Copies of this chain bind each other. A is one copy, B any other.
Amino acid sequence: MTKMERQKENILIIGAGLCGSLLALRLGQRGYNVNVYEMRPDLRKVDISAGRSINLAFSDRGNKGMKLVGIEEKVKQLCIPMHGRMIHDVHGNTFQSNYSGRDHEYINSISRGGLNALLLDEAEKHENVSIYFNKKCKSVNFQKTTALFKDYHTKDEFVEDADVIIATDGAGSALRKSYYLGKKFLFSFSQNYLTHGYKELTILPKENGDYKIHKNALHIWPRGSFMLIALPNLDGSFTVTLFLSYDEGEYNFNNLTNEECVLEFFQKEFPDALAVMPNLLDDFFTNPTAPLGTIKCSPWHYKGNTLLMGDAAHAIVPFYGQGMNASFEDVVEFDAILDKHEGDWETVLSEYEKTRKKDTDAIADLAIDNFHEMKDHVANPIFQEKRKIEMVLEKEFPDDYSSKYSLVTFNEHMGYREAMLKGRAQDKAILNMLSDGVISPADDLKDILEKVKSETVAILEDDTIAGLH
């Protein structure tokens, strides 16, 4: 396909969030004629954050997307490295649990708005890319490849057509809704909510602008059935998130209805956090409580006409810090499929789903695993022992061992599904060998490594023979 042929092709992207703006930038670079419609105002001109996911975890898979479009160095300026989890107990004692035994492996806290603005700026540098704001997609006619929009300013409705429509319009996707309601094909779909919701709070900077708690860590206050976390922002503040059941346990979102209750809850469970959050009550009663859901569906595409990408295809819970990273990796994978099949949209869209969906299904499941691990297991002795052994193995044998967390987060050339299968088998191997006394932290490290490796292989083989996976 020549550049001139590509320029004749009109791609309509619904949604200019993180995924949509990276996709627009990449397709702009490839020479397509790209039009992007976004329901919200331009976040570079209007503050549209509303107490929901102000910052995000950015790591190696997301960075593949930045490398693809050549803005890795610019993004680095927005990043605050977090080398590990800083765990806070009920007495305010802390200890750090690194994400990896390899020093160069860490994750970053990044501002959603800052990164989105950069991607929009970069995309708009291409004259073949146009971005329109305040235009909400109401439905998509996937058989005709047209989309119906409403302009929030003029209140007018209008229809746009294109050669291909790609919906990156998030968990509430209009295209996905049109697939579901259209009943033109068998559409498998699931939305599953956790029993917990979340609410964002803040730790403001010191008067001199310094951070009130350690800057370079993801702070966690794990409490078994609920938890608090905090990620740093460039301005010296932390965005704090409370994950709590809606209706179970002594304290829950449904019964934390007055200031006294909320203070009592924080005083009892998070006294050291409360000490740096004089603004707690304001935040608590101003910011919304939002649900935590997982969305899966199939097919993602209709013939060569339309495609779901990012959260629109696979919204996940935030506990692996992979939501944005998975969406950026979508764009990288899509770009690789374009390299192979450009010019044949039906093959591009179906091959993309075929190669990609197994991995986004896996990260969805891993993120739910990590919900339980973060709120519960990080404070559980045998899981802590496993974690310590894995840190030492990664440090001593950096080329020979990666924990499940490292496989998922730092081994960006291994797909999520392979990382999940291998990582879960490793976890099972170590936990059982610890429990059975087959290995102990005092053993020779090389010996532990060999036992973990062979037991992991045995576990995977047993599952294969039993017809699992």
Look across to chain B and name the residue whose beta carbon is closest to the beta carbon of A180: B191
Among the listed B291, B382, B435, B467, which residue makes an inter-chain contact with A377, where contact means beta carbons less than 8 Å apart?
B467
Measured CA separation A400–B59 after assembly (Å): 53
Does A1 lie at the interface of the complex (its beta carbon under 8 Å from any beta carbon of B)? no
Interface string of A433-469 (1 = CB under 8 A from B): 0010000000000000000000000000011011110
When the two chains form their complex, are residues A186 and B193 in contact, meaning their CB atoms are under 8 A apart?
yes
Does A355 lie at the interface of the complex (its beta carbon under 8 Å from any beta carbon of B)? no
Contacts of A424 in B (CB 8 A): 466
When the two chains form their complex, are residues A462 and B432 in contact, meaning their CB atoms are under 8 A apart?
yes
Contacts of A428 in B (CB 8 A): 462-463, 465-466, 468
Among the listed B377, B427, B466, which residue makes an inter-chain contact with A431, where contact means beta carbons less than 8 Å apart?
B466
CB distance from A80 to the nearest CB of B (A): 31
Counting every copy of the chain, the complex holds: 2
Measured CA separation A199–B134 after assembly (Å): 49
Does A372 lie at the interface of the complex (its beta carbon under 8 Å from any beta carbon of B)? yes
Among the listed B192, B431, B463, B468, which residue makes an inter-chain contact with A188, where contact means beta carbons less than 8 Å apart?
B192
CB distance from A236 to the nearest CB of B (A): 35
Most central of A192, A246, A427 by chain B CB within 10 Å: A192
Does A189 lie at the interface of the complex (its beta carbon under 8 Å from any beta carbon of B)? yes
Most central of A383, A428, A466, A468 by chain B CB within 10 Å: A466
Contacts of A432 in B (CB 8 A): 462, 465-466
Does A143 lie at the interface of the complex (its beta carbon under 8 Å from any beta carbon of B)? no
Contacts of A291 in B (CB 8 A): 186
Task: Please give the number of chain A residues whose Cβ is less than 8 angstroms from any Cβ of chain B in the complex.
Answer: 28
Does A286 lie at the interface of the complex (its beta carbon under 8 Å from any beta carbon of B)? no
Does A257 lie at the interface of the complex (its beta carbon under 8 Å from any beta carbon of B)? no
Does A96 lie at the interface of the complex (its beta carbon under 8 Å from any beta carbon of B)? no
Look across to chain B and name the residue whose beta carbon is closest to the beta carbon of A466: B428
When the two chains form their complex, are residues A467 and B431 in contact, meaning their CB atoms are under 8 A apart?
yes
Contacts of A191 in B (CB 8 A): 187-190
CB distance from A253 to the nearest CB of B (A): 12
CB distance from A282 to the nearest CB of B (A): 26
The B-contacting residues of A in range 163-204, CB under 8 angstroms, are 186-193
Interface string of A225-242 (1 = CB under 8 A from B): 000000000000000000
CB distance from A214 to the nearest CB of B (A): 29
Interface string of A51-71 (1 = CB under 8 A from B): 000000000000000000000
Measured CA separation A423–B187 after assembly (Å): 31
Interface string of A352-371 (1 = CB under 8 A from B): 00000000000000000000
Measured CA separation A431–B383 after assembly (Å): 30
CB distance from A344 to the nearest CB of B (A): 18
Contacts of A465 in B (CB 8 A): 382, 428, 431-432, 435
Most central of A186, A382, A424, A435 by chain B CB within 10 Å: A186
Interface string of A372-410 (1 = CB under 8 A from B): 100001000011000000000000000000000000000
CB distance from A125 to the nearest CB of B (A): 40
When the two chains form their complex, are residues A190 and B189 in contact, meaning their CB atoms are under 8 A apart?
yes
Can you name 16 A-B residue pairings with CB atoms under 8 Å?
A: A186-B193, A187-B193, A188-B190, A189-B190, A189-B192, A190-B192, A190-B296, A372-B467, A424-B466, A428-B462, A428-B465, A428-B468, A431-B465, A431-B466, A431-B467, A432-B465
- Other than A188-B190, A427-B466, give 4 A-B pairs with Cβ distance below 8 A: A372-B467, A382-B465, A428-B468, A431-B466
